[in-house]
Amino acid sequence: MTAKTSTPSASFPVRRMDFSFGASQKYWFAGDPFMSHFMNNLSSLFPYGEKFFVDSVRAVREQITEPQLKKDISAFIGQEAMHSKEHAAYNEYAAEHDIDLGRLELRIKVLLAWVTKITTQKQRLAATCALEHFTATMAEQLLQREDLTTQMNDPKLYQLWMWHAIEENEHKAVAYDVYQAVGGGYFTRVAMMAITTLTFFGVIGWFQLHLLRKDGQLFNWRSWKKGLGMLFSPRNGFLTKLLLPYLDYYRPGFHPLDHDSKQLEQRWRQRLGFN
Total binding residues toward Fe ion, as defined by CB under 5 A: 4
Least Å distance, CB 36 to Fe ion, is 20
Question: Whole-angstrom Cα distance, residue 107 to residue 130?
Answer: 20
CB of 133 to Fe ion, least distance (A): 10
Nearest-approach distance from CB 182 to Fe ion, in angstroms? 18
Q: Which is nearer to Fe ion, 32 or 170 (CB)?
A: 170
User: Is 41 or 223 the residue whose CB approaches Fe ion more closely?
Assistant: 41
**Nearer CB in complex with Fe ion: 83/210:** 83
CB of 132 vs Fe ion, minimal distance in Å = 5
Q: Closest distance between Fe ion and the C-beta of residue 99, in Å?
A: 21
- Taking residue 237's Cβ as centre, other Cβ atoms within 10 Å add up to 15
Q: Which of 35, 37, 47, 83 binds Fe ion (CB under 5 A)?
A: 83
Decide whether 43 or 223 has the Cβ nearer to Fe ion.
Answer: 43
- Choose the binding region for Fe ion from 2-10, 166-174, 181-189, 225-233 (rule: CB under 5 A): 166-174
Contact track, Fe ion, 214-243, x by CB under 5 A: ------------------------------
Contact call for residue 133 and Fe ion (CB under 5 A): no
Q: Which residue's Cβ has the minimum distance to Fe ion?
A: 83
What CA–CA distance (Å, rounded) separates 275 from 267? Answer: 10
Angle 101-118/186-214 helices, nearest 10 degrees?
Answer: 160
Measured from the CB atom, is 164 or 241 closer to Fe ion? 164
Minimum CB distance to Fe ion, residue 56 (Å): 11
Q: How far is the CB of 217 from Fe ion (least distance, A)?
A: 27
Nearer to Fe ion, 123 or 135 (CB): 135
**Piece of the chain touching Fe ion by CB under 5 A; list 14-22, 109-117, 168-176, 234-242:** 168-176
CB 180 within 8 A of CB 57: no
- CA geometry: angle 95, 92, 275, nearest 5 deg: 130
The footprint of Fe ion (CB under 5 A) covers 80, 83, 135, 168
